[in-house]
Structure 1
Amino acid sequence: MPQGKPYAGTIRKLVLGIDIGTTYSGVSYCILTPGEVPKVLSVTRFPGQEGENRLRDTKIPSILYYDGRGNVRAVGAEALVDDNTIMAEQEGWTLAEWFKLRLQPDGPQANGSSLARVLAHKSIINIYADYLTYLFRCAKVFISDQPIGRQVLESEANIDFVLSHPNGWGGDQQRQMRLAVIKAGLIPDTPDGHARVHFVTEGEASLHFCIANGLTEDVLEVDNHIMIVDAGGGTVDLSTYKVLRSSSVNVVESSAPDCLLHGSKFVNDRARVFLQETLEGSRFGKDDDINEMVKYFESNTKPTFRDPGKVSYIKFGGRDSTDVPHGIKKGVLSLPGVDIERLFEPSVTAIKGAIRAQARLATGRISRILLVGGFANSPYLRSRLQDFAESEGIPLFCPNSQTSKAAAEGSLWYHLDRSVSARIAKYTFGTSGCINFIPFLPDHMKRMEKAFVGIDGDVSLPNAFAPIVSRGTLVTEDQEFRVSMSHNSSSPDSRITLRIMSYKGAQERPRWVDEDTENFSTHCLVHAELGSKSYEQRVGMRGEYYTKEYKAVILFGLTEMKALISWESDGQEHRSPATLVFEGADA
């Protein structure tokens, strides 16, 4: 539904866009009324953020307090209210923060992140569910202030949810997020309930946000290549698109999206380590003082830092807090600007490298970089990336709109407009299984000791890899990839299972999954029902067996992978829906 077009549905619906960020989260909403042009709005009122100066807030902290029994005691801005922070300390509550990073593929620990401790019996899905419950409750209170909002909330079956996630996430993270939505009570655990949850990468959400907020015609000229750099609290997502059509905007990915664990939270982490080292031997090097300094650094020093040539300040304690040898006078720690610059440097260097990589892999020259996200509000980061982009000959702009809400609002514009029609396969995907042994092929002869006689009497080799789509392939949303398969068994099984593998290595045509094993992993399992009556009965060298020829049909071009099974019977094609089960390896 292009922008400006009336909603063509027959019933009124509510769609919520939810962006759970590493440090801050937001909710946007759109009430779809038949015949009316949709409007995307943000929830701008949350408990704990009352007051005139907070009326336009679209973000709340991504934090929860749990008591010793695992009960939620305070969430979001309410967790920072003095009453709750005092009670948390007195009663020993546990703070869950940065929990989003626990879903990151391969884990955050490899990237130097120290995550806050959470209760042993609270899984990441439980924490997500608790936080979603709170966000949904806040959204309902805000939306119900409108008469039409109260009406649409009466039927929760007509509420859809669009969740944004980092570019580097896939099927396993989407599975866990959907399970959290179910545990939060937002949808039932049924096929219809599952269908009400949609996913979009933060890169695509940011692109749609920029389009909706008035990208100029020169940016959206046909054949232009636009790069989106979404710098958030935990991740920095990079996406590059080629414009195919400027009216009713249509774009395709120009290079595979990237995701870095170099958001603003990691600047805070480096600040903590720096302060601990700097104040070693000082009476103000204790955890309580360091925590207070890091809190001030995050809310004041970091977001205002812009000039390494000027002294920066961190306030803590009271006016009696003085330690001149360590640079502390009357509760103020003075630091050379170059020290603050060093805290930003790893993130700046990583983002610059990723921009170069995106530009190198793109199918054309980058005409514009758009910098969005909460971390983009940092004047120092903006300045460094502006200078870098200028040196690369690429204009860089920060949209005038409040880009910290790009993911939440952009997720809804994605749901309504879907301007991205094709995406690039990040890895090579295929199936693993057995193939017939052919003695005159050299690589088959090398594997002769692994050959075996199957139930059909044929000599076969295991561990063969059959590619379905190669890395770098541009895949449209409705493009079907088919792979012919056969299933032989001693009995007519009604259910089949197909293993989809991903390959991340350098080989252009990988052939065996037991070679270059560190780059092969299970992406997902595809389960489908064929029906026992559809099997053909045969007799082989080892006796009677049953066989079925079928095709696996995979759609890789969507933000959420889909699959089904196809087979021929009586000259007609039959299809069966398939269930994808992600094992968490790399999905």
Structure 2
Amino acid sequence: MQSPSSEASLRNVTDKIRDVSLSGETNRLVVGVDFGTTYSGVAWGYTGSPSEIHVIQSWPGGVNLTSPKVPSKIAYEKDGIKWGFQIKPFQNCIECFKLCLDPNLRPPDFVSLPNIYAQLQQHEKTVQDVVRDYLQMLYDHTITMLTRSLGQTFVENTKIEFILTCPAVWSDRSKNATLQAAEGTGMAKSCKIRLISEPEAAALYTLKTIRPKNLSANDDSCFVVCDAGGGTVDLISYEILQTEPLQVKESVTGTGELCGSAFLNRRFESFVKERLGSTAYFAMKEKTKIAALKSWEEYVKRVFVDGEDQDVFPIQFPGLPDDEARGIDCGFMTVTREEVQGIFEPVIEEVVRLVDGQITAVQSKGKRVKSILLVGGFGSSEYLFMRLQNKYTDILSTPDNPDVVLQPVDSWTAVVRGAVIRGMETIVQTRKSRYHYGVKYWEYYDENIHSEEHKYWDTTREKWLAENQIKWYIAKGTEMSEDESIAFPFYITFEDHHSRVLVDELVCCQETFPPKCIDSTVKTVCKLRSDLTNVPKSMYTKGRNSKDVEYEGLHFTMEMTVLSASLLFELSVDGVRYGEVTADFAT
């Protein structure tokens, strides 16, 4: 059921739709999809009424439950796919599969990758297949809800643009894998899918809604966005360029780790195992474990504050026999405030370390942090808010800026709402590159510079060359704009029988000082395939070697644009675009 305010908002949208259809203007629907580790969400808006964002609250299998998020779970049954709230307690399913998209990140202890891959093998699915199937379920339900709200005729005849969120800490390859999975659904039916990083989306929503009065343009102040979710915690710092219309830019390179609220659940399980002993823990019925975890989630984790008003927390363990030594009485386990704090603290400390790193990086640029914006599911935690407030108020507050840590009311849906805002307008003007980016290339061999292992003989040019060298074009921390591209100049020689389809390798490095040639710190981002078959022969230079073999040479440029969570490539010769560049992110 829609709330009165939601119903009024929907009436405003339908009125705008009617007005636009009469005027002949073209608008579109923008759908934000927050594909999360533990929960996912969908929100939508209409460009004809950009201030109104609607979050989907009802889901298949949810009966009368309303929730702004749906579990990121999927099961392959004989009668078809079950997902989200359709998956019942004790039902075998695949979960946390999002983390498999980035194998470079070490998964948390509670995620068993072998178990996930065994389930994939059982159903003859790849990780990409499962992600695609889950996103297809989200897409189908979204279209159903849009049709219910706006009517089938309007939905079928209106362009729908999907903005998909992903962790900022993910590699370019993992972001591309997410995009490819989404493109395998109906999301790309009428508009190209766009990606946005989760903390950037959260920042857009937070700034547009709470408009912190202490933040202004043209000074040295910045704000840190801490997007604390179920699996990942991402941080990015911004400074305001102008307030009307709102425009911001990244201040320093963003950071993040796998240290979300799901870690608290696993620490709670470890605590219970230690309290009961391994034998009793593993003998406990699965129903008892699930009831205990639900009790922990709803009555402790979400509301815990380290205050003196509550010293003990009773947690349901139905069916467990009374045991005074282990604190079990009438189906409840008594957990002290100090014990709950012990479960929280290691995870909280990891978040604090990340915030400290952002503040230090901002200060190293001669700027100061005025506010910390706390968003995400874990970001709505009272204890996390209190810990950050207690630590940073004395450090960052001033008489005219006493409230340093800000926590918007809708922090759990800040990311998905921000994705919709991104589809409506461009607020972030520049971003900081998280890596050094460059290309593998060859150059003439010099024994004083190059290693012998990289030396090889070029039969066409009849010269010794050094391979596996790197030309770095983008430095880590470089300010990047979507309106500007980075040019990678190339020179290549062909004999007549050589293919005009080239393969170049884009590489990256996170080290402060990147190496000059390939080593263990350099990672391949993707293989770039450039099709030069349409370049006119007049653009080539000609040469002939000592064996009277004729060859052609071509100078061309590859241009790369860095977006919020993706890369775009184009190829040109003398400023004219020719052919096509495709990026192969496969391993």
What TM-score results when the alignment is normalised by the length of structure 1? 0.86
Matches within 5 A, 1:75-90: 75-80=83-88, 85=89
1:136 aligns with 2:139: yes
Matches within 5 A, 1:480-499: 480-490=485-495, 491-499=497-505
For 1:259, the equivalent position in structure 2 comes to 256
Contact 1:30 1:412 in 2 (8 A): yes
Q: Which moved more, 1:496-505 or 1:306-315?
A: 306-315
Contact 2:43 2:417 in 1 (8 A): yes
| Counterparts of 1:507 and 1:174, CA distance in 2 | 25
Show CA shifts across 1:317-340 (max 9, x none): 14x731222111110011222222
Gaps of 5+ in 1: none
Give 3-state SS (helix, strand or coil) of 2:218's partner: coil
Matches within 5 A, 1:370-389: 370-389=373-392
1:167 aligns with 2:173: no
For 1:109, the equivalent position in structure 2 comes to 107
Contact 2:222 2:240 in 1 (8 A): yes
How far residue 387 of structure 1 moved from its aligned partner, in angstroms, is: 1.0
How far residue 285 of structure 1 moved from its aligned partner, in angstroms, is: 4.7
Q: Would the alpha carbon gap of residues 285 and 306 (structure 1) be closer, same or farther in structure 2, given more than 3 Å must change? A: farther
How far residue 255 of structure 1 moved from its aligned partner, in angstroms, is: 0.9
For 2:73, the equivalent position in structure 1 comes to 63
Matches within 5 A, 1:312-323: 312-318=313-319, 321-323=321-323
| Counterparts of 1:423 and 1:9, CA distance in 2 | 37
How far residue 492 of structure 1 moved from its aligned partner, in angstroms, is: 4.7
For 2:7, the equivalent position in structure 1 comes to none
For 1:422, the equivalent position in structure 2 comes to 430
Match of 2:470 among 465, 471, 475: 465
Show CA shifts across 1:39-60 (max 9, x none): 3221122234344xx44x3112
Contact 1:206 1:372 in 2 (8 A): yes
Q: Which amino acid aligns with 1:333?
A: M
Give 3-state SS (helix, strand or coil) of 1:40's partner: strand
| Counterparts of 2:39 and 2:458, CA distance in 1 | 58
1:18 aligns with 2:33: yes
Matches within 5 A, 1:188-587: 196-223=192-219, 224-280=221-277, 283=280, 285-287=282-284, 288=286, 289-307=288-306, 310-318=311-319, 321-362=321-362, 363=365, 364-394=367-397, 395-438=403-446, 442-444=448-450, 446-447=451-452, 450-490=455-495, 491-507=497-513, 510-513=515-518, 517-531=519-533, 533-534=536-537, 535-542=540-547, 543-568=549-574, 573-584=576-587
| Counterparts of 1:367 and 1:22, CA distance in 2 | 30
| Counterparts of 2:429 and 2:120, CA distance in 1 | 43
Q: Which amino acid aligns with 1:365?
A: R
Contact 1:276 1:290 in 2 (8 A): no
For 2:9, the equivalent position in structure 1 comes to none
How far residue 231 of structure 1 moved from its aligned partner, in angstroms, is: 0.8
Show CA shifts across 1:480-504 (max 9, x none): 2122211123235221222111122
How far residue 23 of structure 1 moved from its aligned partner, in angstroms, is: 1.7
How far residue 145 of structure 1 moved from its aligned partner, in angstroms, is: 2.6
Show CA shifts across 1:380-412 (max 9, x none): 111111112224325433344311111111001
Give 3-state SS (helix, strand or coil) of 1:160's partner: strand
Q: Which amino acid aligns with 1:336?
A: T
How far residue 27 of structure 1 moved from its aligned partner, in angstroms, is: 0.6
| Counterparts of 1:171 and 1:249, CA distance in 2 | 28
How far residue 523 of structure 1 moved from its aligned partner, in angstroms, is: 0.9
Q: Which amino acid aligns with 1:245?
A: Q
Q: Which amino acid aligns with 2:30?
A: V
Q: Which moved more, 1:475-484 or 1:239-248?
A: 475-484
Contact 1:228 1:238 in 2 (8 A): yes
Give 3-state SS (helix, strand or coil) of 1:244's partner: strand
Q: Which amino acid aligns with 2:264?
A: V
Off by >6 Å, runs of 4+ in structure 1: 5-9
Give 3-state SS (helix, strand or coil) of 2:58's partner: coil
Give 3-state SS (helix, strand or coil) of 1:429's partner: strand
Contact 2:102 2:171 in 1 (8 A): no
| Counterparts of 1:37 and 1:164, CA distance in 2 | 19
Q: Would the alpha carbon gap of residues 110 and 557 (structure 1) be closer, same or farther in structure 2, given more than 3 Å must change? A: same
Identity of aligned residues (%): 23
Show CA shifts across 1:264-303 (max 9, x none): 0011111112211221166455252434322322232211
Q: Which amino acid aligns with 1:280?
A: G
Q: Which amino acid aligns with 2:529?
A: H
Contact 1:501 1:523 in 2 (8 A): yes
Q: Which amino acid aligns with 2:101?
A: L
How far residue 451 of structure 1 moved from its aligned partner, in angstroms, is: 4.3
Q: Which amino acid aligns with 2:370?
A: S
Q: Which amino acid aligns with 1:138?
A: H
For 1:145, the equivalent position in structure 2 comes to 148
- For the aligned residues, what is the CA RMSD? 2.7
Contact 2:232 2:258 in 1 (8 A): yes
| Counterparts of 2:329 and 2:564, CA distance in 1 | 57
| Counterparts of 1:125 and 1:396, CA distance in 2 | 41
Contact 2:214 2:370 in 1 (8 A): no
Q: Count residues with an aligned counterpart.
A: 545
Contact 2:369 2:396 in 1 (8 A): no
Q: Which amino acid aligns with 1:340?
A: V
| Counterparts of 1:255 and 1:297, CA distance in 2 | 37
Q: Would the alpha carbon gap of residues 155 and 541 (structure 1) be closer, same or farther in structure 2, given more than 3 Å must change? A: farther
Q: Would the alpha carbon gap of residues 346 and 114 (structure 1) be closer, same or farther in structure 2, given more than 3 Å must change? A: farther
